Structures are given as structure tokens and as C-alpha cells.
Amino acid sequence: MDRRSSRRWRFLSLFLTALHLNPSLCSAAATKVSPRTYIIHMAKSEMPGSFSHHREWYASTVRSITVASSSTKLEAEDPARRILYSYETAFHGFAARLSEAEAEQLESSGIPGVVSVLPETVYELHTTRSPEFLGIGPDVSSSVWSSVLADHDAVVGVLDTGIWPESPSFSDKGMGPVPARWKGACEVGRDFKRSCCNRKIVGARIFYRGYEASAGSINGTSEFKSPRDQDGHGTHTAATVAGAAVPGADLFGYARGTARGMAPRARVAAYKVCWTGGCFSSDILAAVDRAVADGVDVLSISLGGGVSSYYRDSLSVAAFGAMEMGVFVACSAGNGGPDPISLTNVSPWITTVAASTMDRDFPATVELGGGANSTGVSLYRGRRNLSAQRQYPVVYMGGNSSGPDPRSLCLEGTLDPQAVAGKIVLCDRGISPRVQKGQVVKDAGGVGMILANTAANGEELVADSHLLPAVAVGEAAGEVIKRYAKSAPHPTATLTFQGTKVGIRPSPVVAAFSSRGPNFLTLEILKPDVVAPGVNILAAWSGAASPSSLATDRRRVGFNILSGTSMSCPHVGGVAALIKAAHPEWSPAAVKSALMTTAYVHDNTFRPLTDAATGGPSTPYDHGAGHIRPLKALDPGLVYDITPDDYFEFLCTQKLSPLQLKVFTKSSNRTCRHTLASAGDLNYPAISAVFTEQPASALSLHRTVTNVGPPASTYRVKVTPFKGADVIVEPKALHFTSQKQRLTYRVSFRTKSPQSAPEFGALTWTDGVHSVRSAVVLTWLPPL
């Protein structure tokens, strides 16, 4: 580790220590499993001329491995049969079953063409009013978006748990023929016929070889070995991206209205990569590779894994290849908040999406026998409603110890029926799923549940479709109810449900669960990129899954309400499809720039966006550039464009070896030209200045903007004042005389008072019509 990296690590360690967190982010020890799946990245340009096809070369590479220690059944197997996938489009390489010794030999023996050997990684899913909330309601859709979509058919690839094709959200009524350029297919399987695809669902594929190689064969009787979605997550995200308008959609009467996706006239291609045991990286890579070859315009990927480096993150490598082919890639930030440095999918060529609330809620009330009322949320709608005119006994099973009490968490097997039967049980949030706690209370004879947030969740409220009368309340209300339950001689309460309420203020609010920055790998690249609706989102659901996803829940619904960055990601994917349809010539970086520079950072009370975890203002480490604003993004005025070569030059600043850099290249001829003075000089729509010199003095960064607005225009700059440094922009005005003209400016930062914590602000170019805003972060690394 060089001095600069050491100081960055120390800064991040101090960042964590200040928040009383453990800086050991990647401490899980790898379990030795033999055999297992490995992903082998290959330099295709180094394929010997003796092979007519790279598949023959890959089989020969496996065959060349010799293990002197022993002869095993695995070694005797035909090398071609040990190869699970061959990757051909987004990047080059293959996935194969190898023993640990073979993998080590393959990586260390210098076999020509082998770039890296990575073990299989398991990714996790990051688990309809939003069009109107985003300003793209039906009146706007008909007048603005429909016309551009009619001229350019956008196809969004959704990597998830599959799709439920019978949902009315996937009706193709009124849609024209599938575009001739589309090369996708509709794969058949259990309960999924070719007729399940239509002019809306233009493709459906499954990827399971990596999963089966690691977890065993998929049980065809309990799980659909086909594109059909048994889980519901994939159907929900696909409908959020591009679902057709469905009037009268609701969940048990909640959120009733017309449900539709962000791009209701876009096409959907479903790539099923997630199964009951998880989402395996070899399958995800195969899906990205196939989706790019099929011809998708946008990829929406609501899953993620750990972050250790750019070149060892398989999804990062695949997304780089997709970006090179002109595909916009949106990924969820993760649900690790409010802990800092909890982000996944931090590569600069990925658009990383955080989650926020909308101005809609589902209020419910806890009325205590002592007269105090607490407001919470709930999606309960059943036949076991409690009477508003009657008070019911309340019990809290938590003790007085400082540590967690399994009874207070209402974990399975912890509640004594004699103690809770006929009572409302107060449960603490954490460890087990929220709805499952209600099932535990119900099984023990309880008549209702109050679900109280702990410090980890603060005042953030997430509504659930509980199996018994239940209300979720914030931490403060939870503490009040606990004190009452412990001190009153005969504590009582009742629960009431108010249905759906819109116009909530303030909104949006950054969700507490949304993962936070800074970017662990590169402080100069601000992450997340943007925030979008991800709390209490109504969208289509699988007919094979209950709304709670509990096996004991026999209810079936056409629409469900979910929360997570899994829900915010497809909002951005759908809006990207709209922008791509309006501007088919734009690069993925230009689309991303439009989303970031037009985002807003004030809520509907005109105050800075709030962080639900703290109740105070959120920062760019929480919301990125801000909350997406689709109509503004359609006409951003200026864009910060980035080419694949620029991203490669960024990687050249990351101290990667020539072999590690080859992971991102399709040709051995690509070498570093060192066109960037530092990572901060990447033409990113946000600006992050990192002071590394001691004493910190000055640094300069450069940006280039492309005019996509009126040919003749003049932009003038405004910069937020900072305590720690003076900021000088040269020139202070940009004079454009034509469209697509590119102009460069320099931002100089001169330290006047180094700060112990990062400072946040903005740099904005305005022409009187457009405001092109870049978030700015200043960070002073501590001395060694």
C-alpha cells in the first residue's frame, strides 16, 4: 500500500471511528470449497492462431492445468463440460468448475491470455404514485414522452428473479411491432411458453448454471426453472421500469390509482439470474453479456455484492463492457444504511441509485390507555381489525439489560403464549423480517403488534402488509410506548388505520436504509450518484408469491408495495430509457450527466433534503447529486460526457497492474496514455477535491461540458462558498456558438483552513434557462 492509499484508508478509518463503527469492511474469511466455480477473464487478442474459435481455446486452457498432488474425478472430466459459460460480448472469458489448486495454478503459471481468476460471488437482491411525484404523469406522458418513444423503441433489460407475464402491467395493447434490431429470445420452461412474450415482454431468458454448480439442481417442482417469477421481486422492478398503465391498481385498497412504469411504452427483456439460494456472479455475467448481444439500451440491476476493487468486482467488469457498447447501466446502492461506506456498485461507469420517500404515506395510530397517541404506518387490511372503541392489554417482553433481548425482537420461539395471548405485543425491529415478527405474535395468540424502530432505523417508517393488526412506529414513539408498558399497572392500547394519504411534508426524505458514501475505492468519485423513490412503491407482483413473502401467508395479490434501493434503481432505469429514446445518440455518460446535473436537493418545504436516519439535512454521501427530475433531464443544457477511453484512463490512476487493467480491455493494444493528472480529473458530473499534500495548499481539476441546448448560449458560473478553501473557476463564463460544441474549464481550490470533516457545496452553470449543477465535496486527508 503506497503512502497515498494509506492516508485514504486512515481517513476512512477515522470516518468510521467517529461514528463508532468497525472499519473492517471485508473481514469475512473465505471458505475453502472444492470444486467451485471460477470466472476466468481472458485477453481474446492473445488467442493462438491454431484455434478457430475462442471456445476451443478456453477448453484447451482448462485442459492444460495439471495438478500433481492427486488425480481426481474432476480432473478426469472433459474440460469442455467443466465450462459453464463462455462470455463473448460485454467482455471475454469463461466460467468453469475448478479445484482450488487448479485455480491457483491457472492464475500463477503464466498461461498466455489468462488475465484474472476470480471465485464465484453471491450477490443479494436489494430489497403508483411515483410517475406523478417525478413529474411524468399521464398528461405529460402523452404530450412529451410518447412522441419520442414512438420514434425510438427503447428496450430495458432487467436482471432479477424473472417476470409474471400475466400481469396487466405487461400488456402490449397499442404497442407496435418489436423493433427489427432486437436479437433477444423467449426461452420456454416450466409454466412459461413462447406466447408469454409479446410486444411488451420482448425477451425472457434464464441463467442458472453457476447457481446449480454451487447450490445443487433447481427443484423443478418447488421453483420455476423458467423465466416465470416465483419471488415477485423481478416482476415488481420490471413493472416499475416500463409497466403499462393499469387503472384501479392497489394493495388491499391502499395506494389505489393508475399504476404504470417510468417508461410505459418501452420494451422489457427479463433475465432471470436470482434463485431461492441467491444470485451467482457467473450467471449475472452471462446475463449481462447476453443482454448486450440481444440489443438492450438500458440495464436495470437491483442487486449487489461486496466491494474490494474495480477489477475483482465481476458486475463492475461486465458493466464496463456494457458501457463500451453504449448501454446505460443503473444499479442499486444497497440497503446497508445508515452506516457510512456501505455502498455497493461504486464504479464510475455505473449509475448508483440511493432511495428516498415520496409524498404518499399509509398512516396508522397507536392510542394508549393513558391518552397519548403515536402515529405510525401500516398496510394491514384484514378481518381481525381491533375495535377503536376498545382498549386491549399491551405487553413488552424486553428486559432492562442493555443487550438485545430475543423476546423483545419477537423472534421465532421466544414468545410465551400465556404471556401474550389476547394482547397487543410491542416488538423491536431488527434481525428477523418485520412481517415475520407479526406472524410470531399471531402464532402465540397475540391480537396485534406495535413494531418499534431502534436507533439503527431512527424515525424512518416502512409500511408492511402484516398478517394481523400491526403499526410500525419510530424510535421516539417506541420509547414512549415501552415506558408506558413497563410503568402502567394495566397498560392498554388500540390500533387504527387511516388508509392512504398524499401530500406528505416534508418529502422526499432520504431513506435510513439507503447505503451511504463515501466511495471506499476512490474518494474523487462521488457516490451514490442520485436518489430516487424507493419507499412504499406499488408495482406488479407474482401470482405465486404472497405480499409478505412468508410461506404461511396464503394471500395473493396483483400488486404489492415494497421498499428498498431495489425499487429506486428501476425508477432511474426507466427514466434513462425515456432520455435514451429522446436522445438515441447520447452516450451512457451523457444520460447519467443529465440525470445528475438536473437533480434537486430541496424538498417540498423548500428546505434541504432530510436524512431519515438523523432527522437533519442529508449530504451528497447520502443523496449523491440529488433527487432525479426527469423532465429537466430531458433538456439539461450541458452534459459532462465520458468515453470508454476516458474511463480506462481513470483506471490507470488507480494503481492497477497491466494485467489487472487487461480485465477491462478487449485488446492487448490498449495501454495507459496518462491523460488524467488524477482520478479527480475524470469528467464526472460531480466534483470531489481530495487534498493529499501536507500542508494542504492547492489543487486544480478540469471539466469539459458539451452543449446540447440552443446553439448560441452563454453560461455563467456560481460556486458555493467553503470554509476550508477558496474556489476559483476559470473562465467564469462559457460562450457557445453551436450545438455539440465542447468547452473546458478549470476549478482551482486554495486551502485557507483545512477541515477535519468533508465540506459539501455546489458549482452551477446557468444560462437563464438551464441550471447545470455539480455537487462539490472537499476532503482533507489526515497526515500520516
| pLDDT, tens only, 738-760 | 999 999 999 999 999 999 999 99
The pairing of strands 351-356 and 201-206 is: unpaired
For position 620, what pLDDT does the model report? 98
Comparing 195-204, 405-414, 571-580, which segment has the lowest mean pLDDT? 405-414
pLDDT, mean over the chain:
89
**For residue 149, is pLDDT > 90?**
no
For position 16, what pLDDT does the model report? 47
The alpha-helical segments, DSSP class H, found in 152-301 are: 209-215, 233-242, 281-294
Residue whose entry in the numeric block shows the C-alpha cell 415506558? 483
The pairing of strands 501-502 and 298-301 is: unpaired
pLDDT band at residue 304 under the 50/70/90 scheme = confident
Work out the average pLDDT over 43-51.
Answer: 83
Q: Residue 564's closest CA among 764, 299, 302, 310?
A: 302
Rounded CA gap, 304 and 514, in Å? 13
Q: Residue 268's closest CA among 245, 291, 302?
A: 291
For position 158, what pLDDT does the model report? 98
Work out the average pLDDT over 771-777.
Answer: 98
For 487-525, how does the pLDDT look when each residue is reduced to its tens digit (9 = 90+)? 999 999 999 999 999 999 999 999 999 999 999 899 999
Rounded CA gap, 315 and 297, in Å? 17
For residues 57 and 113, is the Cβ–Cβ distance under 8 A? Answer: yes
For position 181, what pLDDT does the model report? 94
**For residue 70, is pLDDT > 80?**
no
**For residue 30, is pLDDT > 50?**
no
Work out the average pLDDT over 361-380.
Answer: 94
Active site residue 623: no
**For residue 588, is pLDDT > 90?**
yes
**For residue 242, is pLDDT > 60?**
yes
**For residue 477, is pLDDT > 70?**
yes
For position 148, what pLDDT does the model report? 53
Domains of the chain with CATH codes: 1-30 (no CATH), 32-119 (3.30.70.80), 124-359+508-634 (3.40.50.200), 363-499 (3.50.30.30), 683-780 (2.60.40.2310)
195 CB-contact burial (10 Å; exposed 0-12 / middle 13-18 / buried 19+): exposed
Is 316 in a helix, a strand, or coil? helix
For position 697, what pLDDT does the model report? 80
pLDDT band at residue 133 under the 50/70/90 scheme = low
- Which pTM was predicted? 0.91
Angle between helices 233-242 and 565-582 (to 10 degrees): 30
Comparing 75-89, 354-368, 590-604, 718-732, which segment has the lowest mean pLDDT? 75-89
**For residue 139, is pLDDT > 70?**
no
Q: Which of 86, 92, 99, 160 is labelled catalytic?
A: 160
For position 44, what pLDDT does the model report? 80
For residues 562 and 350, is the Cβ–Cβ distance under 8 A? Answer: no
**For residue 29, is pLDDT > 50?**
no
Question: For residue 590, what is the enclosing H or E element?
Answer: helix 588-597
Work out the average pLDDT over 626-633.
Answer: 96
Q: Which residues are CB-contacts of 641 (< 8 A; sequence separation ≥ 6)?
A: 587, 589, 590, 593, 683, 704, 706, 742
DSSP 596-658: HHT-B-B-TTSSBPEETTTSSB--HHHHTT-B--HHHHHS-SEE----HHHHHHHHHTTT--H
Query: 496 φ, ψ to 5°?
Result: -130, 155
> Between 543 and 128, whose confidence is greater?
543
For 94-116, how does the pLDDT look when each residue is reduced to its tens digit (9 = 90+)? 999 999 989 998 988 778 889 98
**For residue 363, is pLDDT > 80?**
yes
For 173-182, how does the pLDDT look when each residue is reduced to its tens digit (9 = 90+)? 999 999 999 9
Active site residue 160: yes
Q: Which of 566, 618, 688, 713 is labelled catalytic?
A: 566
Comparing 450-464, 573-587, 622-636, 755-769, which segment has the lowest mean pLDDT? 450-464
Active site residue 226: no
Work out the average pLDDT over 192-217.
Answer: 96
For position 696, what pLDDT does the model report? 66
For position 403, what pLDDT does the model report? 56
For position 590, what pLDDT does the model report? 98
Q: Residue 454's closest CA among 433, 473, 475?
A: 475
Return the percent helix, strand and coil in the chain, to nearest 5: 25, 25, 50
Return the top range by mean pLDDT from 341-355, 445-459, 549-563: 341-355
777 CB-contact burial (10 Å; exposed 0-12 / middle 13-18 / buried 19+): buried
pLDDT band at residue 690 under the 50/70/90 scheme = very high
Amino acid letter, residue 190: R
For residues 364 and 375, is the Cβ–Cβ distance under 8 A? Answer: yes
For position 152, what pLDDT does the model report? 63
Work out the average pLDDT over 409-426.
Answer: 94
Return the top range by mean pLDDT from 54-58, 257-261, 450-454, 622-626: 622-626
Comparing 136-150, 201-215, 616-630, 689-703, which segment has the lowest mean pLDDT? 136-150
Q: Which of 41, 92, 126, 233 is labelled catalytic?
A: 233
For position 55, what pLDDT does the model report? 86
Report residue 754 as a C-alpha cell: 483545512
Comparing 3-12, 298-307, 443-452, which segment has the lowest mean pLDDT? 3-12
Rounded CA gap, 714 and 769, in Å? 11
